A and B are shown apart, each in its own frame.
Chain A
């Protein structure tokens, strides 16, 4: 394999300004090479290399590639990856082919955090603390079936970075509801039928806030729309020891009923509507939030997605203003709670200046997609 990229920390990105062009790729090319993304570096590890069988436009494949390559750079290539059962596991290892260029272990659906604990324990016993452990799962493997093991790994503060690629349902088994599925979304087990079509309001589990409540050293949310931000968070996560949690929103064209070309756009809209707050927390305190730059009403996010088609007429007009309003109230609550609009001016938005300390954020009880916010 190619030699891993340098573990040297990149030069500061403070003050660098990007104009929003989707993936930031255009802006990235104008940067000093040291400030460019890991993905832009030809020496990137390609931890999840080409040839895998993810769907076109798969957000999870993007998220995993960005995340693991950034870990490889941060660790100088000294990484072990543990994978829960799910899309990522299935599409990456159609043996005799495997897309993993890192040591990779898949055990079960619900035990990736504990398996990672075991890997970390073995490395510690062997005195190999230079090798770092990353565990990864979808939202089902994280918020539902893996939650017991995840909470245990968190409370023991094991030296593991756990990454949840959240596409908001069980996509691998055919788009069934998980406890990360947002209200009103159609899944195969919350069909768009009856007086309250789609997933009910007032349910669901917010893993980033539950992770923060464990007082672990580092928790962050990110999306595949902001590659610089995601890589910077991986870098920060790898700079500390102990349990760390990264929750990455990864749109799923199959499950969301969206066009493959819209994956990055939808991830950005999730943030820009306030439905998915992008934030960081250290030792139980929210320390930074990514400010919304061009606030959008939730309709703009919902309309391109087939899973919300029942909320609109064929011409795109609101068919269920009550349910759309419920989702808007969730976004509004997130904006208020996390101070997602506070400080700065919308047109002058750079990487450094975009991250604000939260204004009176009260993580306990608040929720990025708070079901309770729907009233």
Chain B
């Protein structure tokens, strides 16, 4: 049914349709509206049987999810930013144990400086945890990916993280088509665990593994991720058949025909990028877009194929590896490393800074002309940076950097948001 609905609520509706048996929640912006809506559903009795557990920390949230999943329950939780970091030990543990937990990550920057707005630093910090990481472009896709996430997680016995941009998606009210319970039930069968804490058949789960087997256990996790690479397009195709619309999959190519320059990105910024590219296409530029829906496992072969005829690549990233550069860039560059294709990084949208067509357009034009630096920080205020660098050079006790920068910006700072 078509609804005008907030992204968070659409996700909550879809998660509820997936019949989770345990939902554990700890509040952190911008994920709160999702768990609030699920809490209300459980309390009203609309979602039953389901236990909604208000926990004391994100570390406990993921730990409750681990216990419940190992006991054979379908489990859901949501977090963001600092919350993901606070639970990270348990995030690794859920993947290591092969438990099919599904979690929404309402992408948000990581402090210090504390910042509640959107970027992808949190998702990138969890890149190597062993979780499947899917990125939603729209609220429709965010909702749809959750049904697919449960299917996938339970098929390969791995946890799946659905990444949706904080505020930009979670708090935006858009048109979303939500399926019926019957449709979801037909798509998502009940959970049949591969391992189970069961008094009738006692097993030990979580034993210490030494050098004699650790490599093999880790390799098997890799094999399961690669299996997910096979299953994701199948599940997406099945989803298309069931629901009459397509979401998910590995990649989202856009106007790649004859493209010499391709812009690669994750998440909701693809909308702005497509608008920018449309305008450039209208002017005759041979530009296309490649959205990455499945970030982990990384669909290297599919990316290689999509970029087969491309001469230049720009990766727009809402995060970066400080002291190095783009994170997604390295993955993308690996797929064209056998050809002389320059792959440039544009770091944009950090801490919620708007990414506008006006800013992207000259960057793409420079890239098309071969004039783009390997690493660009979109809309970077050089003057503010230079002032702080000068302050640090002039005296040792220059004070806290973030506060200095805010003081330099003065009232202008508040205009950005």
Contact = CB atoms under 8 A, between A and B. Distances in A.
Interface of A: 1, 77-80, 82-83, 89-90, 93-95, 98, 100-108, 110-111, 114-127, 131, 148-149, 151-152, 155-156
B207 A106 contact: yes
A105 B205 contact: yes
A224 B24 CA distance: 36
B55 A98 contact: no
B181 interface: no
A131 to B, nearest CB: 6
Q: Report which residue of A95, A106, A121, A151 has the largest number of chain B beta carbons within 10 angstroms of its beta carbon.
A: A121
Contacts of B68: 118-119, 121-122, 125
Interface stretch (B89-97, B262-270, B287-295, B340-348): B89-97
Contacts of A111: 59-60, 63, 66, 89-90
Interface in B61-83: 61, 63-73, 75
B142 to A, nearest CB: 25
B60 A105 contact: no
B410 interface: no
Nearest to A151: B56
A89 B208 contact: yes
Give the most central of A123, A152, A155, A156: most B CB within 10 Å.
Answer: A152
Nearest to A149: B60
B204 interface: yes
Interface in B171-213: 196-199, 201-209
A316 B321 CA distance: 61
Contacts of A98: 204, 207
B49 interface: yes
Nearest to A155: B56
B203 A103 contact: yes
Contacts of B56: 148-149, 151-152, 155
A106 B53 contact: no
B260 interface: no
17 contacts: A78-B199, A94-B207, A102-B199, A103-B198, A104-B206, A107-B66, A107-B67, A108-B63, A110-B89, A115-B63, A115-B64, A117-B55, A118-B24, A118-B70, A120-B67, A122-B71, A152-B60
Contacts of B66: 107, 111, 115, 118
B21 interface: yes
A77 B201 CA distance: 11
B67 to A, nearest CB: 3
Contacts of A151: 56
Contact of A148 (B24, B57, B75, B198): B57
Contacts of A125: 21-22, 49-51, 68, 73
A294 B55 CA distance: 45
A80 B197 contact: yes
Contact of A156 (B50, B54, B89, B196): B54
Interface string B16-57: 000001101000000000000000000000000111011111
A191 B22 CA distance: 47
Contacts of B67: 82, 105, 107, 114-122
B197 A103 contact: yes
Nearest to A120: B67
Contact of B71 (A94, A107, A119): A119
Q: Which of B55, B63, B65, B198 has the most chain A CB atoms closer than 10 A to its own CB?
A: B63
A131 B89 contact: no
A110 B66 CA distance: 13
Nearest to A80: B197
B204 A121 contact: no
Given A93-B206, A104-B197, A107-B63, 5 more contacts: A78-B199, A93-B207, A114-B55, A121-B68, A122-B22
Contacts of A1: 202
Contact of A100 (B61, B75, B97, B202): B202
B59 A110 contact: yes
Contacts of A152: 55-57, 60
A124 B63 contact: no
Contacts of A118: 22, 24, 53, 63-71, 73, 75
A193 B54 CA distance: 46
A114 B67 CA distance: 8
Contact of B21 (A78, A106, A126): A126
A361 B208 CA distance: 44
Given A102-B199, A103-B202, A108-B93, A117 B53 contact: yes
Nearest to B202: A103
Q: Which 7 A-B pairs have the closest CB atoms?
A: A118-B67, A106-B206, A152-B56, A114-B63, A122-B73, A122-B71, A111-B63
Nearest to B205: A105
A125 B49 CA distance: 5
Given A118-B22, A119-B70, A122-B73, A104 B53 contact: no
A108 B89 contact: yes
B194 to A, nearest CB: 14
Contacts of A124: 51
Contacts of B60: 111, 114, 117, 148-149, 152
A152 B24 CA distance: 13
Contacts of A131: 199
A78 B198 CA distance: 9
B63 A95 contact: no
A139 to B, nearest CB: 19
Given A121-B51, A125-B49, A102 B63 contact: no
Contact of B208 (A93, A105, A126, A156): A93
